[in-house]
Each structure stands twice: as structure tokens, then as C-alpha cells.
Amino acid sequence: PARPAVCEAAAAPLAALRSAAPGAPIAYAGTPVQAWIVAGDAELGRTDDAAITASLAVTTPAGTEYTRALIEAAIAQWFRGQLKKAAEGQDDRAGAWAAARCAWDVALAPLAHDPAVAASDPGLAAHVDAAFAAGAAADPTKYDAAFMPGHEVVEKSWFRVVHRRLLHAASAAKTAGDAAAAARALGIFEALRDRLKDRNTPGIDLIVAELKKPDPKQIDPARIERELAVAIVKRANKYCTEAVDPASGKTLGTPAAAATAAEGLAYTEVLLPDMVEKLADQRFDRNAHVEAWNSFAHAIDEKDDAEAKRLSAELLQWNCAYQRALGLRECTSSVDETAAAAR
């Protein structure tokens, strides 16, 4: 399928925006980038264009860094919308997949190739590229099998990119007392904000307050990492068991069940570096845990109920161990944090 003109037209301006010197003026009004974001707002019921336009009034280096990150986060919302259409829509699912891939190629993949991401999480961009290629090669009679799990792999891997970039920017802000890095982190957070809602809602304000501290050297990246982890580990928790839970309505051997395992692993991969650190005294083995997720997915595909249930219990055990290590009062997939519980 042809790539959307609104995406293709923005490729050159976005490349110029990325290569511009820090603090350089941002060309936005009347550009293809604005046209793309306005289209996304209309489609998704968002107001990203207004937020970006307002932020352009702040022309300091911190202001421009914040605006750049807002632009990236807005395009990511359009990208997520296209992935959802490919996975769940009725019309032109291949076209939606191609549209999402265009957004990845021109706007988001370069962020995954950022040295800050590539150094800490090598192979992440290639992982997403492979998922896109697999979806593009899918037989039209098997779109569910390709796009339902593929959507989860790609979208949650994007969250992984955002997570790595956010923590790197927060650390850079603290180390150098760099207000522009703090502003960049604040803008990057917009791409993850909705992941905290209803899981760690108080964490949203805590992260924003951390990144808005008058002295960037006072920012606590570990605090930010914890607040993100609280929400993400709860989201991952659901998928440790959903495929084998009769109440979920999922059936082993179906694309819907496969998608739950793909989503659970992809969320867990965001957390793995911190799980290794916090669960070291329990001899947590990162590679073995990833293999357990992959084996769980295989058991789901093979309709092996006994093996799927065994692996589900193992995955849940480690998810709950990490929730305890984060200081959560209960192991849950859905209970929101309260302001009083937030540390």
C-alpha cells in the first residue's frame, strides 16, 4: 500500500528539525509537520497542535527542546492510532499498517537510533523493523494473526524507546544542571503520560514536578523510573494470565490470545533492566524470563493448556516479586495508586 502523503511530506522537515542545533528556532506553522499533527488531532480528538503552537512562544533553548519533544509525541499518537486500525479495524488494514510504518520510518525510528537508546538497548530499532516487515508480508487471510500481536510488539517497543530517552534526558539534566535536557524529558514524557493513568495516576504529577524543579541538579531520575515502573508492571501483570483465564474470553490458539502474550512480553521488556537490579537477591535471570514469555506464547499457539498455565504462574510470580520490590502494597493489574501511597 502507498504511504500517506501527510506522512511522506513531513519527512524532510522532520529530518531538518532533528539536525538543527539545540535552541535553534523551530519552523512549524504552515509546514507539513503541522498539517500532519492537525490531521491527527481531527482523527483522534486531540489538541496537540494547540499545545505545540503555544509552546513555540518560549524561544529559550529549554523551550525549543520541549517543543521538539511535543511534536514527536504528537506524531506518536497518530502512529498508535494507525496500529490500532491495523489490529482492530475492518477496512484497509494493510494500509493502516503501512501508514504506521511510515510514521516509524520518518519520525520515530531515528529516535530509537539515538545513541542514548542504542547504547542502553541495542537492537531495539531492528526489533521494531522486523515486526513491521513481518506484518507487511502477511497473507490477507491472516491479518489477525499478523497485526494483532504485531500491534502490541511495535507499540510497546515504542514505549521502550520513550522510556530510555526520558530517563537519559532526566539523568543528563541532573548531571549537568541542564534545563534544556529537563525540558526535553518533560516533553518526552507526554508520549508515556497515558500509560500511568488509572494505574499510577498520582505518578503523573510527581514526574512533572520532578522535571520542573528550579534546579535540574535536584532531579531524581530513580524516582521517575519508579513511578513509570509502577504503572507498566501493572499493565504487564494482566497479560501474565489473561490467555489462560476463562473469565477473559480468550481462547488458546487464537490471534487474540497470542496478542496478550506479545503485549505482556513487550511491556516487561521495558522493565527488564530494573528487574535485574531490584531482583538480583532473588536470582532473577533476565534471559530465562524472556524465554519463559516466548515459551508461554508458543504454548498458547499450540493450545497446550497445561504448559500455558504452568508458565503463566511462573511469569506472574516474577511480576509480583518486582511489584513488591517497588514497594507496592498488593500485586495487581488494575488497582490505581493513591496520592497517599505514592512515595
Radius of gyration of the chain (CA): 20
Percent of the chain with pLDDT over 90: 95
Q: Is the pLDDT of residue 5 over 70?
A: yes
Residue 341 banded pLDDT, cuts 50, 70, 90: low
Q: Is the pLDDT of residue 173 over 60?
A: yes
Q: Alpha-carbon dihedral of residues 289, 290, 294, 300, nearest 10 degrees?
A: 50
List, for residues 260-269, the tens digit of each pLDDT value. 999 999 999 9
> Given this model, what pLDDT does residue 343 score?
52
Report the candidate in 114, 106, 115 with the shortest Cα–Cα distance to residue 13: 106
Q: Is the pLDDT of residue 40 over 70?
A: yes
Dist. CA 65–CA 26, nearest whole Å: 10
Q: Is the pLDDT of residue 53 over 80?
A: yes
Mean pLDDT over the full length of the chain: 96
> Given this model, what pLDDT does residue 207 score?
98
List, for residues 105-126, the tens digit of each pLDDT value. 999 999 999 998 999 899 999 9
> Given this model, what pLDDT does residue 339 score?
80
Which one has a higher pLDDT value, 341 or 196? 196
Which of 19-23, 27-31, 51-55, 169-173 is least confident?
19-23
Question: How is residue 111 written as a grid cell?
Answer: 529516535
- Using DSSP's 3-state secondary structure scheme, residue 70 falls into helix
Q: Is the pLDDT of residue 90 over 70?
A: yes
CB atoms within 10 A of CB 91: 7
CB atoms within 10 A of CB 76: 25
pTM: predicted TM-score of the whole model, two decimal places? 0.97
- For 199-261, the three-class secondary structure string (H helix, E strand, C coil) is CCHHHHHHHHHHHCCCCHHHCCHHHHHHHHHHHHHHHHHHHHHHHHCHHHCCCCCCHHHHHHH
